[in-house]
Amino acid sequence: MPELPEVEVTRLGLADRLRGARVQSVHVGSPLRWPLGVQPRTLRDLAIGDLSRRGKYLWMPLQGGTRSGGLLWHLGMSGSLRLHERDAPPRGRHDHFELVSSAGVLRLTDPRRFGAVLWARALDADPARKLLAGLGAEPFDASFDAKALHAACRGRRTSIKAALLAGDIVVGAGNIYACEALFRAGIDPRLRCHRLSLARCERLLQALRDVLSEAVALGGSTLRDFRNSQGSPGEFQINARVYGRAGLPCPSCGGAVRRVVQAQRSTFFCPRCQAR
């Protein structure tokens, strides 16, 4: 957390506002997960291009004169990005990276400091290349279909919930979204990957796309720290059908939602509605 919807919500909120702006200064506070990899002063006067997303990473292209590259942003477990277009308040104790531009002050707020901002010459150059190399398919990529999901699952004996969280088959299914997608698809989260039929993979991929689309439309999920680029929390968690509802009635059958622990993560599901 934040997962794909929160990162996409952040990108959508920043892309138009930052496009074409020029970097005026960069402030690096307490150390984040990885070092910036470049002297902050060398980023001055570079122009910001179109923000893009890969998995849970944001890519901010920067170019000016003979220098080009970009910043790869990761929000970690508790981070959020906010753009203050005017009258930015003083930096707080959890504001660990600040990029001042002609469009305003962009701050990474990250209480747990698992986030990162890294310079790379390109997305296919290290360190960006190395960090992105193990990511699975984008869930909305037209070339990733149920057959591709079925083929990727066929050789695995881990649970389908664990496979979704791993992110090397398909990205974006964090804990909340994996629970919700499996519920909508009627699949028990403990089911072993190799037992998934093609029909179940079709239902699961569609459910995952539906859940992620709804989450983006609702501003993502805020359980504790996440805020969008304007400082507002997400609302998807309010509409969750099983996540966080252990012991409460299933919205489909009325039976009790159950909670189990898988790989040290809470999993919520309906034993009646989700076949194993």
Catalytic residue numbers? 2-3, 56, 265
Please say whether the beta carbons of 221 and 6 come within 8 A: yes
d(CA 14, CA 107): 12
Q: Is the dihedral of CA 173, 219, 133, 76 positive or negative?
A: negative
Instruction: Report strand pairing: 116-120 vs 95-101.
Output: unpaired
Picking from 87, 81, 82, 73, the residue whose alpha carbon sits closest to that of residue 33 is 73
* N residues, the chain: 276
- Residue 182's alpha-carbon distances to 67, 144, 219, 244, in angstroms, are 46, 18, 21, 14
What gap in Å lies between CA 171 and CA 149, rounded to an integer?
Answer: 12
